[in-house]
Amino acid sequence: MKRRIGVLFGGRSAERDVSLMSARSIMAHLDPERYDVYPIAITPQGAWLFGPDAREALARGTLEDLTPALIPPDPTKAGLWLWKDHVLEHLTQLDVVFPVLHGPWGEDGTVQGLLELAGIPYVGAGVTASALAMDKGLFKDVMRAHGLPVVPYRVFTRAQWRRSPEAVLDASEALGPYPLFTKPANLGSSIGITKAKHRAQLRAGLDEAARYDRRLLVEVGIPAREIEVSILGNDDPQASIPGEIVPADEFYTYQAKYFDDRSQLLIPAPLPPHLAQRARELALAAYQAIDARGMARVDFLLHRETGELYISEINTIPGFTPISMYPKLWEASGLSYPALLDRLIELALEDR
């Protein structure tokens, strides 16, 4: 029998456009002989809508033909329901849900919590790992507790920033020399991130980050090459070969990530074997330190002068177009894009 796969995409986070790109490729590559795919569009307001062409409808903003849908948290009423003329209709059970949602309200444990309550297996990390990977500050706290290398950083709340800006600026500058990076703790795709070269830019960067989150991260900027490793698996995860990003911008900005075709992916990363090996080992250690599951992409900063590797972040729902680093690294390691999807669905179905 075919497996029934719910695919969630769009969503309330600022990364919704990236989700739409990932979801298009995932749905196009799920083998129709093996899977019945149920696309569920989440609007920027958070409305859940079902329809065979839900992705295109959400991308175009033509939502009239879609039907309000929900997955209730109640496992005795499991599956996908449609809401027609004030009446709930059970459309189907779901064997697996693939949350193709980047950023808050999707990659951060919230949707994972709903699916846990509903008793529906899902692709990728569980509640705790998702939440830890989403919060760049807590993530680095866990790395540090495990003795894993991260650059010097501090977390401030928006309230602290508003109440005592000079103290926050002083504490940030005490971390190390400029440039300093300012980031919203819970976001991705470089949204809200600033590379500050002096105090005025640091101030502006903290204001910018505070637009997106109540937790603000400041970290020492290093002259870095950007190395990424894909991880796949549950209790016995495997690491891909490392890849390298060569951003077209001064750092890997939103523009450089998705719109500038001068940004390059080097696969494999041109690294001496001992560094490639160290990146894979650190990636696995980071993955296991947060108890991730299914998949994740672990990103590193490789200091150009000292050769030191620092763990930068983990993405538990990495970009997933055929030209995205996560699937490309597996392809280069011998696992095709469709075979990777099959594997992720199998991993979702393993016992938790």
Q: Should residue 189 be labelled a site residue for ligand ADP when binding is judged by CB under 6 A? A: yes
Dihedral in degrees, nearest 10, Cα atoms 57, 122, 300, 339:
-80
Q: Tell me which residue has tokens 């990636």.
A: 283
Q: Should residue 15 be labelled a site residue for ligand ADP when binding is judged by CB under 6 A? A: no
> Of residues 35, 38, 181, 337, which one binds ligand ADP by CB under 6 A?
181
Q: Between 2 and 211, whose beta carbon lies closer to ligand ADP? A: 211
DSSP string, 179-230: PEEEEESS--TTTT-EEESSHHHHHHHHHHHHHH-SEEEEEE---EEEEEEE
Q: Should residue 22 be labelled a site residue for ligand ADP when binding is judged by CB under 6 A? A: no
- Residue 284 tokens read as 């696995």
Q: Should residue 105 be labelled a site residue for ligand ADP when binding is judged by CB under 6 A? A: no
Q: Should residue 313 be labelled a site residue for ligand ADP when binding is judged by CB under 6 A? A: yes
Please state, in angstroms and rounded to a whole number, the distance separating the CA atoms of residues 332 and 265: 12
Asked whether the beta carbons of 199 and 156 are under 8 A apart, the reply is no
Please state, in angstroms and rounded to a whole number, the distance separating the CA atoms of residues 69 and 10: 14
Does a cis peptide bond (omega within 30 degrees of 0) precede residue 268? yes
Q: Should residue 190 be labelled a site residue for ligand ADP when binding is judged by CB under 6 A? A: yes
> Of residues 20, 27, 151, 284, which one binds ligand ADP by CB under 6 A?
151
Torsion sign over Cα 122, 127, 131, 133? negative
Asked whether the beta carbons of 180 and 220 are under 8 A apart, the reply is yes
Could you say which residues in the range 240-269 bind ligand ADP, by CB under 6 A? 247, 251-252
User: Which residues contact residue 237 at a Cβ distance below 8 angstroms, ignoring those fewer than 6 apart?
Assistant: 231, 284, 287, 288, 292
Query: Which among 24-32, 188-196, 284-292, 323-331 is the span making contact with ligand ADP, rule CB under 6 A?
Result: 188-196
Q: Between 34 and 199, whose beta carbon lies closer to ligand ADP? A: 199
Dihedral in degrees, nearest 10, Cα atoms 33, 35, 36, 39:
-130
Contact track, ligand ADP, 281-310, x by CB under 6 A: ------------------x-x---------
Please state, in angstroms and rounded to a whole number, the distance separating the CA atoms of residues 145 and 153: 14
The residue number with the shortest CB distance to ligand ADP is 252
Query: Which among 58-66, 158-166, 217-225, 274-282 is the span making contact with ligand ADP, rule CB under 6 A?
Result: 217-225
> Of residues 208, 213, 219, 244, which one binds ligand ADP by CB under 6 A?
219
Backbone angles phi, psi at 169, to 5 degrees: -65, -45
Contact track, ligand ADP, 30-69, x by CB under 6 A: ----------------------------------------
Query: Which among 58-66, 213-221, 277-285, 320-328 is the span making contact with ligand ADP, rule CB under 6 A?
Result: 213-221
CB of 301 to ligand ADP, least distance (A): 5
Report the interface residues with ligand ADP, using CB under 6 A: 151, 181, 183, 188-190, 193, 219-222, 224, 226, 247, 251-252, 299, 301, 312-313
